[in-house]
């Protein structure tokens, strides 16, 4: 832990001691403690811990807001900066041992008093052998109605296994299979949040297979199916674009594209955005739809053979910003027999898009709407759109290069439209 974080936690220790309140570190901070990783977020519990958090934030002028106002489960979040926060949750039960018994997995049922956490002591409160499971990289559910009380914990098991690179033990998978139908009681927003965190992990295929085998997948996507072979290819390509597209690997390594990885994996789920109990944002649903449609358009043009320049323009115009995403789905939607040909085709499209299409699209239009009004005394109409689109296309293709060329083309379009209207 860095010096600033430790100093804030020492301030917290002094503050809680002055209030005669004992705080315990729990959750992810304990796992980071065992693995000697730095930690930015801390979960703390104790009697009236939420109140301690509120008072501490006021004393040090930190932002604080409630996460849970349920009586007996009050939780307050104190924001240290944009990358760090402290969560204070009231103790569940009479003591820390009772609190730990109500948690989900053994690796989350460990604790240390804040004072001992800061001093580096090893006397961890560990009634359920969480340290042993952590060392063995096992996700093991606690005894009792853990999944019944909060069915979302079944998804959380897979999320923890993915993010920590752990395995879910056999008894826990059996329990998930027995309780899977209860997942429908969870809020769609919470389900989607857990799935998002899961799909954002780089390697999830074995766990997705396990999710499928225990029946949880069908509860999540009752109207869908999954092509595990394509999912594997999508995940593999996303993790190793440099070998497929070495010239354009930088286009796949932007933060904007990396943030789309989880949605591209979701796209492999057939009909994933229809009829499923999920809460994708409009932007997320739109990206999935655009990537799928883009892949279909690429397939149609590819199967025709070498595309003409006009066809390449129309293709890239329709896909545009989602070209890398569409190409990932296009490349992986194949049995592999024509992968070399598909890759060559995609490189051709990439070259046109980045070397010709985008530079031309960024240029100032040779003719705009005001120019059309002044030149031809036209009133705004649907004809405007056709004229502007055709001029843009001709400009990108290099057919016209001057404003005079654009005026001539606009005149030809207007004349053609007049003839059509007059029959």
CATH 3.30.460.10 fits 1-129, yes or no: yes
Give the H or E element holding residue 359: helix 358-361
pLDDT at position 147:
95
Instruction: Assess contact for 205 and 213: CB atoms under 8 A.
Output: no
Q: What is the CATH code of the structural domain delimited by 137-220?
A: 1.10.110.30
pLDDT tens digits, 382-402: 788 888 899 999 999 989 999
pLDDT at position 224:
65
pLDDT at position 18:
95
pLDDT at position 41:
86
**CA angle in degrees (0–180, nearest 5) for 249-254-260:** 105
Instruction: Assess contact for 102 and 92: CB atoms under 8 A.
Output: yes
pLDDT tens digits, 103-123: 999 999 999 999 999 988 778
Instruction: Assess contact for 326 and 287: CB atoms under 8 A.
Output: no
Quick one: angle between helices 382-397 and 369-376, nearest 10? 110
Instruction: Assess contact for 93 and 21: CB atoms under 8 A.
Output: no
> What mean pLDDT do residues 280-290 have?
89
pLDDT at position 164:
94
User: Can you point out the beta strands (E) in 35-93?
Assistant: 41-46, 63-68, 75-81, 84-90
Residue where the block lists tokens 């056999």: 170
DSSP state of 203: -
Is the predicted pLDDT of residue 191 greater than 50, yes or no? yes
DSSP state of 127: T
- Gap between the Cα atoms of 109 and 96, Å rounded: 10
DSSP state of 355: I
Q: How confident is the model at residue 275 (pLDDT cuts 50, 70, 90)?
A: very low
pLDDT at position 271:
54
Is the predicted pLDDT of residue 302 greater than 80, yes or no? yes
pLDDT at position 37:
83
Is the predicted pLDDT of residue 234 greater than 50, yes or no? yes
Say what the pTM is. Answer: 0.85
The two tokens of residue 56 are: 């501490």
pLDDT tens digits, 195-225: 999 999 999 999 999 999 999 988 887 756 6
**Closest of 149, 88, 140, 147 to residue 114, by C-alpha:** 88
């Amino acid at each position: 832990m860095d010096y600033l974080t430790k100093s804030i936690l020492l301030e917290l220790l002094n503050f809680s001691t002055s209030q005669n309140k004992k705080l315990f570190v729990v959750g992810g901070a304990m796992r980071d403690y065992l693995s000697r990783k730095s930690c930015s977020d801390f979960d703390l519990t104790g009697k009236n811990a939420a109140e301690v958090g509120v008072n501490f934030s006021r004393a040090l002028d930190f932002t604080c807001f409630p996460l849970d106002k349920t009586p007996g489960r009050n939780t307050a979040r104190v924001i240290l900066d944009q990358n760090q926060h402290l969560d204070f949750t009231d103790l569940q039960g009479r003591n820390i041992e009772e609190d730990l018994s109500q948690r989900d997995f053994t690796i989350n049922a460990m604790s240390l008093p804040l004072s001992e956490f800061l001093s580096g002591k090893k006397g961890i409160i560990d009634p359920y052998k969480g340290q042993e499971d952590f060392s063995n990289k096992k996700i093991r559910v606690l005894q009792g109605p853990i999944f019944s009380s909060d069915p979302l914990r079944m998804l959380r098991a897979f999320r923890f296994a993915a993010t920590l690179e752990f395995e879910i033990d056999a008894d826990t998978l059996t329990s998930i299979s027995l309780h899977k139908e209860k997942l429908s009681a969870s809020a769609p927003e919470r389900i989607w949040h857990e799935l998002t965190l899961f799909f954002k992990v780089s390697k999830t295929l074995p766990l997705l297979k396990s999710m499928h085998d225990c029946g949880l997948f069908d509860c999540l996507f009752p109207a869908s199916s999954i092509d595990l072979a394509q999912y594997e290819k999508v995940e593999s390509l996303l993790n190793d674009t440099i070998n497929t597209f070495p010239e354009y690997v930088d286009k796949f390594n932007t933060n904007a594209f990396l943030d789309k990885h989880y949605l591209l994996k979701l796209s492999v789920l057939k009909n994933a955005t229809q009829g499923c109990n999920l809460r994708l944002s409009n932007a997320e649903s739109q990206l999935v739809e655009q990537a799928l449609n883009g892949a279909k358009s690429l397939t149609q043009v590819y199967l025709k053979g070498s595309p003409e320049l006009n066809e390449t323009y129309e293709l890239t115009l329709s896909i545009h910003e989602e070209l890398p995403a569409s190409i990932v789905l296009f490349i992986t939607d194949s049995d592999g027999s024509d992968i070399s040909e598909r890759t060559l085709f995609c490189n051709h499209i990439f070259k046109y898009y980045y070397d010709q299409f985008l530079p031309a699209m960024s240029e100032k239009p040779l003719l705009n709407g005001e120019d059309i009004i002044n030149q031809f005394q036209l009133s705004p109409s649907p004809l405007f759109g056709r004229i502007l689109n055709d001029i843009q296309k001709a400009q990108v293709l290099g057919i016209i290069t001057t404003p005079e060329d654009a005026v001539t083309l606009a005149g030809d379009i207007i004349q053609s439209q007049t003839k059509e209207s007059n029959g």
